[in-house]
Amino acid sequence: MKSDAKFTLADLAHLAGVSTSTASRALKNNPLIKQATREKVQTLAREHNYSVNAAASRLRTQKTNVIAVILNLIDDTEQSISDPFLLKIVAELNKALNAAGYELLLSNSFMASDDWANYFITSQRADGLIVVGQGKSNEKIDKAAAAGVPLVVWGEPTTPSIYPIIGGDNRKGGYLATMHLIDGGCKRIMFLGDPGHAEMTERHAGYEQALREHGLEPDPSLTLPIDITSQAAYDCINDTVRQNGLNFDGIVCISDMLALGALKALKERYVNIPADVSIVGYDDIALAELMHPSITTVRQDTQQAAQKMVSQLLKQFEGAPTRSETVDISLKIRRSTRAEN
């Protein structure tokens, strides 16, 4: 039998079949841990002469082995944590964090205090932050970074910052989506989504670049800034068609959720997709392939993104240099767009 000096919390967690943070909480009789798990961990601790005092020595290091993942939703939005793309990123982050020995604490910017340093780090809720989304303002992120909080952001990698930002090549994504529509014969292409976000600004820049390269001057009236929900896209397309008729033959959507809403509105008006209007989404959520017609979309490698975000966060724990990184994107061509001319 191991002595207290040799038998570690990691050994105890391994025997109990739980994570080290779960074992630590079980030793403290944390009610968030199932009673059966608490009893199992505490019984094993007694059998191996592992005292709560030994666990306390670990607490003095102020490590929780928990990472807070904050969904940085903007004000006045109907977008929620049930958004399929957000869930897709969170699922990949959970796998990457578990592989690194950490648990994920999911929160959002509305639930958490404005002072993320105190709310998550000083209170020992988490060791570091992964923020999903830059939003229109970096104020909360910058405040946490200035307080010395280890953090990584999913957003626009070219944005100057003092913390690492991981994201897709958004300008390339907007460019590829628009080029595909032009190659399919579209000439009046709508941009559906708010360019005020850092990521969307770059996608819009790619959209305009593709238009100009083909002698198509961007029409400001075809850039429609809306919330990132299918309902917002549905309402927007209905309003546009009522007011202006079908004055567009292609749509670049900044998310698949917008593409779903646009598709629904047009199909209800018996507009043929893609013969009359071609639609490209963004993110490649599962629903995009299941719709009729299936939606052409820009895919971001969320698995690669999660691994890079976790890697850059761990480097901060080790005091190693960090950097922003771009993840792979690709165009998934499906039936919502016309074949190239």
Most confident of 15-29, 136-150, 255-269: 255-269
pTM score above 0.75:
yes
Domains 66-167+301-327 and 170-300 share a fold: yes
**Mean model confidence pLDDT for the chain:** 89
- Predicted confidence band of residue 52 (pLDDT cuts 50, 70, 90): low
| Overall average pLDDT of the 290-304 stretch | 97
Whether omega before 274 lies within 30 degrees of 0, making that bond cis, reads yes
Which of 252, 246, 243 minimizes the C-alpha distance to 224? 252
Residue 55 has pLDDT above 80, yes or no: no
| Burial (CB count within 10 angstroms: exposed 0-12, middle 13-18, buried 19+), residue 193 | buried
Superfamily of domain 170-300: Response regulator (3.40.50.2300)
pLDDT score, position 81: 65
Return the pLDDT at 62: 63
The confidence score (pLDDT) of residue 77 equals 52
Which residues sit opposite 189 in a β-bridge? 250
Mean pLDDT, range 51-65, rounded to an integer: 56
Chain position carrying tokens 């646009």: 262
Classify domain 66-167+301-327 by CATH architecture: 3-Layer(aba) Sandwich (3.40)
The CATH number assigned to the domain with range 9-59 reads 1.10.260
Domain ranges of the chain: 9-59, 66-167+301-327, 170-300
Q: Flag whether pLDDT at 4 surpasses 60.
A: no
